[in-house]
Structure 1
Amino acid sequence: MAQYNQRNPAVKRLMKEAQELREPTEDYFAQPLEDNLFEWHFTVRGPPDSDYDGGIYHGRILLPSEYPMKPPNIIIMTPNGRFETNKKICLSISGHHPETWQPSWSLRTAMLALIGFMPTQGEGAIGSLDCPSDERKKMARKSCSFKCSHCGPTKNLLKEQSKSGPSKTNEEARQLASQMSFTSEGAKQGDSHALEQRFVPAEEAQEDAHAGDEPDARPTEPAETEVRCRMPAPSTGSVAHDQQPQVTPSAGVTTPRATPTTITTAQAPSENQLLISVFMFICAAVFLSLFVRRACFLLF
């Protein structure tokens, strides 16, 4: 792998995630390319009891240099009938929705969300498809023969599926997709309460408590809010009297009348005024002295 600055927050985070995801599971697997830490290839198993049951889907994750403060972009390479291939797809955890992304989410979160979103309706989202059920099932069977130019046959990248039924990972993926759908809708409507209820996978909640070495600041994206203009409340009785609203019959708009403000500043005497004052004081003293001398002369 190429050399990277180990102190860079994105590099540090991605290397940690690469270590955590180094072993494949039954449902997902992801690793960065040998020469590019910011491009990952991933493989996920289709969710059970759906049109994608039995399918194995491969794709790419393109990460920004600001990760995890900004979301990744996800590209599906295997034909699936739900998402367009080789095109950035629109999900709550992708670059199309930075307002719903949380830095505490990881690439594992993104893969689980993708699994959970596959059985849902695209509803015209960017990169979504609405193929018939039979076509999706047919693509799921063919997906096992997909071969990546970097990773080879994708069917060999996941652990063999157990026969004990749906795993806990699939249940977690369904809950995650459901929570993210609610969060995305809440973000569109400016519902701050919905934004505060974002889902964090159980395995990552404990890691966040020890994430002191990772960026903790979360970008706050402003939700759409209604801008209202309010007349400022008067502070004193006199100000309230001066700011009585004037009503224009034609417009019907009430506007406060501006209150004139007088600013008084103390002006220090200039140098010339000081000299004049001193001169007048000296003249008065001389005049008084002459007057006293004249009076004494007349008396004596």
Structure 2
Amino acid sequence: MAEMSEKYNTKCPGVKRLMREALELAEATEEYCARPLEDNLFEWHFTVQGPKGTDFEGGIYHGRILLPKEYPMHPPHIILLTPNGRFEVNKKICLSISGHHPETWQPSWSIRTALLALIAFMPTPAEGTIGSLDYTPEERKVLAKKSKTWVCSQCGEIASLLSSTAAKPITEEEKTVLNQIAFKGEEQTPKPPVELVQEVETQSLESTEPSTGFLDQLTEILVALLVGAIGIFIYRRWNHFTASDTEL
């Protein structure tokens, strides 16, 4: 941290906040650990344990957290590197606590909050959201076993990064925050009720009927005028030839 103090402006709110969080997360736990890269305070690597009682139990998953210079006013981007069957690897995850949803981010949230939210979201349905996968339970369990031997090019074997130390209990405030995140997390555009869709479709059909009838009437009128014009032309030509024959 001393090197970080020399490299970055410690008076900057974002730097001050990240250095404080780095101290708070300095000791690894059995559930998660996270620390900044040695040469970049704004990129962190993290490791989380798969939630117990789920398809991810026993798995160890590693990823990156990319923090904007405006942190904590702007949210971080979260990227998983270990194949897991829930989130695409090397792709920014779409959560209300990530950079995909800056409108729902709150400066009071932290990297620990992001890690807790990520763990909570692993067993939830993918529902086609950005960066999500919907592998079968069997596939996820196989990946959970393989994850124990996964190696990060910068952090080494991820299985050794976690410890046996119990994580700090989740506070009531954090529970409230996680519930909010869980509610808003992977929002999609809400689908209208079936009744509303049917009503809209009925209205659309009804609204097109008068237009179709008008076009049919217009077509009939044009055809009638065209036939009439042709009839007049033929009649005049016939009269012209008749008059010529009479003169002769």
Tell me the residue number matched to 2:90.
Answer: 86
User: 2:116 is paired with a residue of what secondary structure?
Assistant: helix
Structure 1's 175 and 155: CA in aligned 2 closer, same or farther, altered over 3 A?
farther
Structure 1's 174 and 79: CA in aligned 2 closer, same or farther, altered over 3 A?
farther
1:37-78 C-alpha deviation (Å, 9 max, x unpaired): 000000000000000000000000000000000000000000
Tell me the residue number matched to 1:75.
Answer: 79
Equivalent of 2:110, from 106, 111, 133?
Answer: 106
Residue 58, structure 1, aligned to residue 62, structure 2: yes
Equivalent of 1:133, from 133, 137, 140?
Answer: 137
In the alignment, the residues of structure 2 paired with residue 56 and residue 161 of structure 1 have an alpha-carbon distance, to the nearest angstrom, of 16
Tell me the residue number matched to 1:4.
Answer: 8
Tell me the residue number matched to 1:14.
Answer: 18
Q: Root-mean-square deviation (CA), in Å?
A: 2.7
CA contact (8 A) 1:112 1:176 kept: no
Equivalent of 1:45, from 22, 29, 49?
Answer: 49
Tell me the residue number matched to 1:25.
Answer: 29
Q: CA offset at residue 179 of structure 1?
A: 2.8
Unaligned runs of 5+ in 1: 190-300
TM (norm. structure 1) is: 0.57
The residue type paired with residue 88 of structure 1 is K
The residue type paired with residue 83 of structure 2 is P
The residue type paired with residue 76 of structure 2 is P
In the alignment, the residues of structure 2 paired with residue 34 and residue 78 of structure 1 have an alpha-carbon distance, to the nearest angstrom, of 21
User: 2:88 is paired with a residue of what secondary structure?
Assistant: coil
In the alignment, the residues of structure 2 paired with residue 128 and residue 79 of structure 1 have an alpha-carbon distance, to the nearest angstrom, of 12
Q: CA offset at residue 142 of structure 1?
A: 0.6
Equivalent of 2:101, from 97, 101, 106?
Answer: 97
Tell me the residue number matched to 2:195.
Answer: none
CA contact (8 A) 1:100 1:184 kept: no
May I ask how many residue pairs the two structures share in their alignment?
Answer: 186
In the alignment, the residues of structure 1 paired with residue 109 and residue 178 of structure 2 have an alpha-carbon distance, to the nearest angstrom, of 13
In the alignment, the residues of structure 2 paired with residue 161 and residue 139 of structure 1 have an alpha-carbon distance, to the nearest angstrom, of 25
> Whose helix proportion is higher, 1 or 2?
2
The residue type paired with residue 182 of structure 1 is F
Identify which of structures 1 and 2 has the higher relative contact order when contacts are C-alpha pairs closer than 8 Å and 6+ apart. 2
In the alignment, the residues of structure 2 paired with residue 10 and residue 51 of structure 1 have an alpha-carbon distance, to the nearest angstrom, of 37
Q: CA offset at residue 186 of structure 1?
A: 8.9
Q: CA offset at residue 187 of structure 1?
A: 11
1:9-46 C-alpha deviation (Å, 9 max, x unpaired): 11000000001100001101000000000000000000
TM (norm. structure 2) is: 0.69
CA contact (8 A) 2:63 2:82 kept: yes
In the alignment, the residues of structure 2 paired with residue 67 and residue 156 of structure 1 have an alpha-carbon distance, to the nearest angstrom, of 29
The residue type paired with residue 111 of structure 1 is L
Structure 1's 88 and 23: CA in aligned 2 closer, same or farther, altered over 3 A?
same
CA contact (8 A) 1:24 1:157 kept: yes
Equivalent of 2:151, from 144, 147, 151?
Answer: 147
1:201-240 C-alpha deviation (Å, 9 max, x unpaired): xxxxxxxxxxxxxxxxxxxxxxxxxxxxxxxxxxxxxxxx
In the alignment, the residues of structure 2 paired with residue 13 and residue 187 of structure 1 have an alpha-carbon distance, to the nearest angstrom, of 32
User: 1:108 is paired with a residue of what secondary structure?
Assistant: helix
Unaligned runs of 5+ in 2: 191-248
Q: CA offset at residue 160 of structure 1?
A: 2.8
Q: CA offset at residue 182 of structure 1?
A: 2.0
In the alignment, the residues of structure 1 paired with residue 102 and residue 24 of structure 2 have an alpha-carbon distance, to the nearest angstrom, of 24
The residue type paired with residue 153 of structure 1 is E
CA contact (8 A) 2:129 2:186 kept: no
Identity %: 62
User: 1:31 is paired with a residue of what secondary structure?
Assistant: strand
In the alignment, the residues of structure 1 paired with residue 59 and residue 137 of structure 2 have an alpha-carbon distance, to the nearest angstrom, of 14
Q: Which has the larger radius of gyration?
A: 1
User: 2:99 is paired with a residue of what secondary structure?
Assistant: coil
Tell me the residue number matched to 1:180.
Answer: 181
Q: CA offset at residue 124 of structure 1?
A: 1.2
User: 1:140 is paired with a residue of what secondary structure?
Assistant: helix
